[in-house]
Structure 1
Amino acid sequence: MSFVENKESFLFTKVDKSTESLPISFEDWERLARERVPAGPFDYTAGGSVEEQTLAANRAAFSRWAIVPRMLRDVTNRSMAITLFNQQLKTPVLLAPVGMQAISHPEGELATARAAAQAGVPLVVSTVSSHSMEQIAEVMGDAPRWYQLYWSTDREVSASMVRRAEAAGYSAIVLTVDTIMLGWKRRDFKNGYSPLREGKGMANYISDPVFCSRLSEVTPENAVEEILRTIYTPALTWSDIDYLREHTSLPILVKGILHPDDAKLAVEHGVDGIIVSNHGGRQVDGAIATLDALPTIAEVVQGRIPVLLDSGVRTGPDVVKAIALGANAVLIGRPFVYGLAVAGEKGVASVVDTLLHELDVTLALSGCASLADVNRSILTRQ
């Protein structure tokens, strides 16, 4: 049974008074978030690097592809289910790792986690979350979740983090490889704002025994300085994947791949999955849009490992386009953070609910009963 049918033709049911005032479009969520969140935190989430060309390119890439619907196909019974790493998921949508969510809403990741668990959408928890990975896992119960790792120059801290994630029920490790140093974000310089320097993302660190053993005294000030000293890793190489593999039995994905040769190397080094990502336009300005990078990477990988995509995904049609071009699943970031900023858990739930309805309707009207029916044949380049 389809998502919409489960809602009993939601367009014609009685409106839920608790949510009728919430936005529908990404633009309206963003507008309300801008009104409610101070300039520093809002721009930290919304902004990209330098001139923000990559930020704009991610959206423009989706507009260059058009869906060509197929007709007279029975789409009565539809499914958005997928399997990733032997885990059945209800949809091909995940919530991307966004750090320090408490800058947008006091409950931060805890509100996001509850909404994700209720929707059955996996949450990827950031190393620099505002709440510890164990606290987030506790509110999620048995719901699917992955852990995103920022590699530390202190390898033993990284090993400790992934061991904790495995013990707390996370089912995959996402190693972000495009942040060996911080992108040049003009908005943050203008606002004089750094949530990491303010200690907003240290929950996983001050709860980690190995990290704390490095401090002469466990204080917020000492923790922040140690994080800043070790979080950026320009010496990170493919050989570090081998070290990571020694310390976890979980699937390992690398996030931040844009070049097909790096996709080849990922397969050669035994990586379990790739996330095609330019960090939402926050790192290299002028970088290729993720949707433009996706087809070549999918061709190189040839189905040997899953390929996921983030950066620029806003709507259900976007999800269909990404899957048609070779993605197994997609991640959204800013949309759910704006929902969080505006209405906490209800906001995240509403953003996810809208996206999944859009995806279901787009599948049906494109003539697809399942994601297996979605391929390049339903797209044309504009």
Structure 2
Amino acid sequence: MSRTDLSEDEALRRMYRTTAEQERTFEQKLPELLELGRTYLRVETGFLTEISDDTQEIVDAVGDHEKLQAGRSCPLSKAYCRRTIDMDRALTVQNASVEGWENDAAYEEFGLEAYIGAKVVVNREVYGTFCFADSEERDRPFSEAEETFVELMAQWVGYELFQTRATERMQRQRDELEEFTRVVSHDIRNPLGILDGYLRLAEETGDPEHFRRCRDAVDRMETLIDDLLFLAREGKTIGEREAVDLGELVRTCWSVVNGESATLAVDTDRTVMGDWSRLQQVFENLFRNAIEHAGPEVTVRVGDLDDGSGIYVEDDGPGIPAEDADRVFDDGYTTDEDGTGLGLTIIQQVVSAHGWEISVTEGTDGGARFEIVGVDPVDD
């Protein structure tokens, strides 16, 4: 069947047949639908765009127009689609040069005489447009049936993209739940085993030392549960931001960490926009980590990075082996048999929720040095 003799009924049948194929992916069906539309509408090209930050990018396209190919982009101000996204129905142009487009930036950029496009909406937000166009004008306006055809395909694209995003989100949640379950089952099983063993010994001997060991196991489980609940409820989110004096914050955090013989040096007067309570969790975990791994007489220093991009927290302890540097933020990773392995995971998630990044390297005195970048100071 040639491009000129595809009827409305046949076009709709092909569209429904293609969209209903469950065994094929959206990416596999999209070019076929663009080609179907190009054939039915008897135009040169068909394309799907994504609009973000005032830029139009072509996601996929069929046809030979040089500037309408997958991966090409242009400012939205130079695109026909800037008007499409403001329309409740499809935007149609039969002859651009006589319909007020001759001095338009989009006409100058693409030279399209005929155009029909509908906006694609995903989760109530404009994603982009589903369009068909030609460098030659049409001998007749687009019909109501043709407008409906393009609108239906744009709605299908929006639905498919919504479903894809929902599926990806559910998969991430399943992966996170599996990891969460793995950490819980692994790390709680250990103190439970210790508790069971020492309770048996305590029952048999009455030795107070066995009861103390039981108490230690219970304390570790409480710490683990607190960390897990934080990760599950708040680890990836932050509350309202406020101006935070980092010097004041780190001194407050230090006062609640058990480090009577340890020393804190503060070399920053930076004020940043952040969630005070969540940042408290970051610095308290960093300080506890330093004391646990470097010893009770450790010196911890907090200061600004030389290039002004952020801050560092370093200690004078033994440091972190180079081969472990990429693993320290993984759930459950710890070199301390009594540790939960979640403290640094919490730190990374809170830092990321602020839009910052954290990494670990060697400190000035050979200890561990955590660098947080992207921490822009508040202007005076």
TM range (shorter): under 0.3
The normalised TM-score by structure 2 is 0.20
Indicate the structure (1 or 2) with the bigger Cα radius of gyration: 2
The normalised TM-score by structure 1 is 0.20
Higher RCO structure (Cα 8 Å, ≥6 apart) = 1
Higher-strand-fraction structure: 2
